[in-house]
Chain A
Amino acid sequence: MLRYLARRFVIVIPTALAVSFIVFVLMELSPGNYVQRRVENLRAQGVKVSQEEADRLMAEWGLDQPFYIRYWRWLRNMSRGNLGQSAVYGRSNLDLLKEAMPISVTIAVVGILISWAVAIPVGIYSATHQYSVNDYLLTLLSFFGLGTPVFLIALLLAWFSVTRFGFAPIGIIAPEYANQPWSWAKALNLLGHLALPLFLAGLTGTGGLVRTMRNNLLDQLRQPYVTTARAKGLLEKRLLLKYPVRMAMNPFISALAFVLPAIFSGDVVLAATLGLPTVGSYMYTAVAQEDPYLAGTLLLFYAVVVMTGTLISDVMLAVVDPRIRLGEGGSR
Chain B
Amino acid sequence: MSANRVLASSRTFLSTWIERLRAGRKGAGPETEGDRDEEFYYASQWDLMWWRFRQHKFALVSAALLIVLYLVAIFAEFIMPYGAWDRVSEAAQAPPTRIHFRSPDGALRRPFVYRVARKVDRATYRWSYVESEDKAYPIRFFTRGRPYKLLGLISTDRHLFGTDGGVGVWLFGLDLLGYDIFSRTVFGARISLFISLVGVILTFFFGILIGGIAGYAGGLVDWGLERVGELLRTIPTLPLLVMLSGVIPKSWPIVQTYFVMTIILSFVGWVGLARVVRGRLLSMREEDFALAAQVTGCSNLRIIFRHLLPGFMSHLIASLTLSIPAMILGETSLSYLGLGLYRPAVSWGVMLADTRDIQAIAHLPWMLIPAVWVLVTVLLFNFFGDGLRDAADPHRM
Report yes or no: A149 in contact with B329, Cβ–Cβ below 8 A: yes
B284 vs chain A, min Cβ distance (A): 19
The reply on B176 being an interface residue by CB < 8 A is no
B232 vs chain A, min Cβ distance (A): 9
Q: How many A-B residue pairs have CB under 8 A?
A: 143
Instruction: Please name all residues of chain A whose beta carbon is closer than 8 Å to the beta carbon of B240 when the two chains form the complex.
Output: 299
Instruction: Please name all residues of chain A whose beta carbon is closer than 8 Å to the beta carbon of B233 when the two chains form the complex.
Output: 257-258, 261, 306, 310
Instruction: Please name all residues of chain A whose beta carbon is closer than 8 Å to the beta carbon of B378 when the two chains form the complex.
Output: 147-149
Quick check: which of A2-10, A62-70, A268-276, A321-329 contacts chain B, the rest being far away?
A268-276
The reply on B2 being an interface residue by CB < 8 A is no
The reply on A287 being an interface residue by CB < 8 A is yes
Interface string of A1-44 (1 = CB under 8 A from B): 00000000000000100110011001001110000000000000
Instruction: Please name all residues of chain B whose beta carbon is closer than 8 Å to the beta carbon of A156 when the two chains form the complex.
Output: 368, 371
Q: How far is the CA of A269 from the CA of B233 in the complex (A)?
A: 19
Report yes or no: A152 in contact with B235, Cβ–Cβ below 8 A: no
Report yes or no: B339 in contact with A29, Cβ–Cβ below 8 A: no
Report yes or no: A22 in contact with B235, Cβ–Cβ below 8 A: yes
The reply on A296 being an interface residue by CB < 8 A is yes
Find the A residue at minimum CB distance from B378: A147
The reply on B325 being an interface residue by CB < 8 A is yes
The reply on A307 being an interface residue by CB < 8 A is yes
Report yes or no: B230 in contact with A15, Cβ–Cβ below 8 A: yes
Q: How far is the CA of A260 from the CA of B234 in the complex (A)?
A: 10
Interface string of B83-109 (1 = CB under 8 A from A): 000000000000000000000000000
B59 vs chain A, min Cβ distance (A): 12
The reply on B118 being an interface residue by CB < 8 A is no
A70 vs chain B, min Cβ distance (A): 17
The reply on B152 being an interface residue by CB < 8 A is no
Tell me which of A158, A269, A283, A303 has the highest count of chain B C-beta atoms within 10 A of its own C-beta. Answer: A269
Report yes or no: B358 in contact with A159, Cβ–Cβ below 8 A: yes
The reply on B236 being an interface residue by CB < 8 A is yes
B interface majority secondary structure: helix
Tell me which of B243, B338, B382 has the highest count of chain A C-beta atoms within 10 A of its own C-beta. Answer: B243
Report yes or no: A299 in contact with B243, Cβ–Cβ below 8 A: yes
The reply on A163 being an interface residue by CB < 8 A is yes
Report yes or no: B368 in contact with A159, Cβ–Cβ below 8 A: yes
Report yes or no: B358 in contact with A288, Cβ–Cβ below 8 A: no
Instruction: Please name all residues of chain A whose beta carbon is closer than 8 Å to the beta carbon of B171 when the two chains form the complex.
Output: none
Residue among A144, A258, A268, A287 making CB contact with B246, cutoff 8 Å: A287
The reply on A284 being an interface residue by CB < 8 A is yes
The reply on A155 being an interface residue by CB < 8 A is yes
B175 vs chain A, min Cβ distance (A): 15
Q: How far is the CA of A168 from the CA of B360 in the complex (A)?
A: 12
Report yes or no: A170 in contact with B234, Cβ–Cβ below 8 A: no
Chain A contributes a number of interface residues (CB within 8 A of B) equal to 54
Q: How far is the CA of A307 from the CA of B374 in the complex (A)?
A: 32
The reply on B146 being an interface residue by CB < 8 A is no
Instruction: Please name all residues of chain A whose beta carbon is closer than 8 Å to the beta carbon of B361 when the two chains form the complex.
Output: 155, 158-159, 162
Residue among B234, B336, B379 making CB contact with A143, cutoff 8 Å: B379
The reply on A265 being an interface residue by CB < 8 A is yes
The reply on B323 being an interface residue by CB < 8 A is no
Report yes or no: A26 in contact with B332, Cβ–Cβ below 8 A: no
Interface string of B223-257 (1 = CB under 8 A from A): 00001001101111111101111110100000000
Report yes or no: A273 in contact with B239, Cβ–Cβ below 8 A: no
Using known A-B contacts A19-B234, A159-B365, determine if residue A269 contacts B333 with beta carbons closer than 8 Å. Answer: yes
A101 vs chain B, min Cβ distance (A): 14
Interface string of A114-152 (1 = CB under 8 A from B): 000000000000000000000000000001101111011
Interface string of B342-355 (1 = CB under 8 A from A): 00000000001001
Instruction: Please name all residues of chain B whose beta carbon is closer than 8 Å to the beta carbon of A163 when the two chains form the complex.
Output: 362, 365
Instruction: Please name all residues of chain B whose beta carbon is closer than 8 Å to the beta carbon of A284 when the two chains form the complex.
Output: 242, 337, 339
Report yes or no: A299 in contact with B246, Cβ–Cβ below 8 A: no
Interface string of A276-301 (1 = CB under 8 A from B): 00001001100110101001101100
A167 vs chain B, min Cβ distance (A): 11
Report yes or no: B379 in contact with A144, Cβ–Cβ below 8 A: yes
Residue among A146, A152, A159, A265 making CB contact with B382, cutoff 8 Å: A146
The reply on B375 being an interface residue by CB < 8 A is yes
Report yes or no: A269 in contact with B368, Cβ–Cβ below 8 A: no
Residue among B246, B371, B374, B382 making CB contact with A290, cutoff 8 Å: B246
Q: How far is the CA of A313 from the CA of B257 in the complex (A)?
A: 38
Report yes or no: A306 in contact with B336, Cβ–Cβ below 8 A: no
The reply on B110 being an interface residue by CB < 8 A is no
Find the A residue at minimum CB distance from B383: A143
Instruction: Please name all residues of chain A whose beta carbon is closer than 8 Å to the beta carbon of B227 when the two chains form the complex.
Output: 15, 18
B239 vs chain A, min Cβ distance (A): 5
Instruction: Please name all residues of chain B whose beta carbon is closer than 8 Å to the beta carbon of A159 when the two chains form the complex.
Output: 358, 361-362, 365, 368
Instruction: Please name all residues of chain A whose beta carbon is closer than 8 Å to the beta carbon of B11 when the two chains form the complex.
Output: none
Report yes or no: A162 in contact with B246, Cβ–Cβ below 8 A: no
- Can you pick out 24 interface pairs between chain A and chain B where the beta carbons lie within 8 Å of each other? A18-B227, A19-B235, A23-B243, A146-B382, A147-B325, A147-B378, A149-B332, A152-B352, A155-B355, A159-B365, A162-B358, A162-B361, A264-B236, A265-B236, A265-B237, A269-B238, A269-B336, A273-B358, A283-B243, A287-B246, A290-B246, A299-B243, A302-B235, A303-B234
Q: List 5 A-B pairs, minimum CB-CB distance, nearest first.
A: A265-B238, A261-B236, A264-B236, A287-B246, A147-B378
Binding site for A on B (CB under 8 A): 227, 230-231, 233-240, 242-247, 249, 325, 329, 332-333, 336-339, 352, 355-356, 358-359, 361-362, 365, 368, 371, 374-375, 378-379, 381-383, 386
Q: Given A262-B237, A284-B339, 6 more contacts at CB 8 Å?
A: A15-B231, A147-B378, A168-B359, A283-B242, A287-B243, A298-B239
